[in-house]
């Protein structure tokens, strides 16, 4: 009987070799694609800590500036109060002087 597909011994051996090559190629490890920007966990954690620290420093600076402004405003208020008291004191002293002067004038005219 004649084989219509001509699958002789050599053809079967060649087909088996090709199948084995294909299987080995399929199982062969593929080259890995390395990430262009690869950060380790430590680097990520350090970067996050830096941002938190920067935010804390900024908040501390803002707090310091606010306290400084508040202190300056308190000082200005105290200065204003003192000036007002001095002005009243000067006015009172002037009023007393004028009263004494008027009393002397009145005493001299009697």
- Tell me the per-residue pLDDT of 32-76, one tens digit each, with 9 for 90 and over: 777 677 788 899 999 999 999 999 999 999 999 999 999 999 999
HSE value, Cβ hemisphere, 13 Å, CA-based, for 81:
6
Q: What are phi and psi of 82, to 5 degrees?
A: -65, -45
52, two tokens: 């938190």
Minimal CA–CA distance to 26: which of 14, 34, 15, 18? 18
Measured CA to CA, the distance from residue 71 to residue 67 in angstroms comes to 6
Q: Which residue has the higher pLDDT, 53 or 5?
A: 53
The model carries a pTM of 0.42
Measured CA to CA, the distance from residue 108 to residue 110 in angstroms comes to 6
């Amino acid at each position: 009987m004649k084989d219509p597909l001509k699958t002789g011994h050599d053809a079967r051996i060649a087909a088996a070799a090709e199948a084995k090559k294909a299987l080995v190629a399929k199982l062969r490890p593929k080259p890995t694609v390395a990430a262009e920007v690869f950060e380790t966990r430590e680097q990520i954690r350090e970067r996050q800590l830096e941002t938190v620290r920067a935010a804390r420093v900024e908040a501390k600076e803002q707090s310091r500036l606010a306290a400084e402004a508040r202190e300056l405003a308190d000082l200005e208020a105290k200065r204003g109060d003192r000036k007002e008291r001095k002005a009243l004191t000067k006015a009172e002293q002037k009023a007393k002087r004028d009263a004494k002067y008027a009393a002397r004038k009145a005493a001299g005219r009697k």
